[in-house]
Amino acid sequence: MTTSKGRHYTGLQQIAVLANSELTLRRTCNAIARGVAKATDMNGCRVLLLDSKKEYLTTVGAYGLSDLFLRKGPLDARKSLPEVLDGNIVVVSHAPTDERVQHPEVAKSQNVLFIAGIPVLLGEETIGELRIYSKESRELTEEERNFLKSSANLCAVLLDRAQLAQFRDRIYKSRVKAAGALTLPQMAANPLKPTEFAHESEAEFANLLDFYQIEWLYEPRSFPLAWNGADVSQMFTPDFYLPELDMYIELTTMKQNLITIKNRKVRRLREQYPDINIRLLTKKDFLKLLTKYGYGTMGEAKVEGVGRVLHSHTQIQRRVRAIARKVSRDYEGERIVVIGVLKGVMCFMSDLMQYISIPVRVDYMDISHYSGDGEVVKITRDLDSPIGGQHVLMVEDIVDTGMTLNYVLAHLAAHKPASLRVCSLLDRKARRLANVKLDYVGFEIPDVFVVGYGLDYKGEYRNLPFIGELKQDWGRRSQEGQQQ
């Protein structure tokens, strides 16, 4: 009779062999999930990968779990066994009633009682999870915990190797492109986003989402629409889920018969799941949707001149709210004067003020630069009201060399305010010359020319709702740095 220790030893041997095989990532992880479930006498297991923002978990391998269970919806890492993110093994003995289970109703329908989550660690960083499932309520023995930790360590090596292979592929592609090749050799699909698109329009849609930094999940959930007794006879799986908009997207082509079928399914889904937000879109519909949700008028192509989006509209707003909360806490019980230098700061300053919860007075300055032996700053518009004895918050759009900011701070300090702090949306440290302290920072950016959200290039791009990198060949960059 095989002992549990024998099963664990055999299981680790099998996993080690699989991790060093030439199988695809998905097939390897499926086999690992099977081995872990068998070795621990569980009904099911899956390997989950954490996205780069540590927000969502994607299944990269599974065994013994129904399609309905696997497609119950996107797993929010902060709602579904959140303690695993901190590197802890989490055990749930009664899944249908445990608040740490994101979809308890699905666990109940599938008779899943026991769930355990084991962190997949790369160094001290959690990059994924192993989860095991049982229809019986039970506990983990110390021997099982050790086996699961070892299995998770092997998964970490496997996922890290896949990520390295992906990086090598990107480098190889860029070198081939730079060499002027007309075509590129076919590369393996992104191993860390295990997606095989059913149609080329879906791949195009995903690329558009990536360009605008919109988080997406591909076919994350299937909805039962019809039943034959207790069995599901028809299901509908929308193409995409956009977590930031809490919206499911089903793409359609111009073929009328397909549009009619999909419209019928979408209508039935809305009737049976009234809380679900779903849209049936053509490409033109999607571009209109982007405009509605604050991504600007995009037309048929990406914004001309912008090489990539560094920070999306949603990311900016989330960060601005966070800064405003911290400012409100730091100045609690006080009144502050918020001062901005025109013109690039106007979008950031306007949004920031809306979220600050303490009394605020606003003032502006304007400056000009002169070229010569060095950069000379001249104040062309000074403050309208005195700031002596008051708490002043200097708001900047971007700080790079710090020379201009250093001059402005010295000018403000001469008015003897009670306190003087600096808040900057962007910090470009690579160009820093003056040692200026930034008390609040939105984002650190690399040494690239950026536009959007108030920042311009030759008077254009200020109205873009995101921050993007201007293409290097789009215009000659100023030797003195970016003038906003």
Q: Which residues are catalytic?
A: 400
Residue with tokens 């950016």: 445
Q: Report the 10 Å Cβ neighbour count for 61.
A: 24
Residue 449: which residues within 8 A CB-CB, separation 6 or more?
Answer: 457, 469, 470, 472, 477, 482
**Cα 150–154–157 angle (5° rounding)?**
140
Kindly state the tokens that stand for 218.
């591909």
Question: What residues have CB less than 8 Å from 390, skipping those under 6 apart?
Answer: 335, 336, 337, 417, 418
**Which bin fits 54, alpha (ψ -120 to 50), beta or left (φ > 0)?**
left
Of 343, 443, 328, nearest to 393 by C-alpha is 328
Strand partners, 50: 57
Peptide bond just before 343 cis, omega within 30 deg:
yes
Strand partners, 49: 58, 128
Among all chains, which residue has been given the structure tokens 């073929």? 255
Cα–Cα distances in Å, from 266 out to 209, 238, 376? 22, 9, 62
Structure tokens at 187: 């590369």
Coil/strand/helix, residue 58: strand
- Residue 316's nearest CA partner among 287, 343, 296 is 296
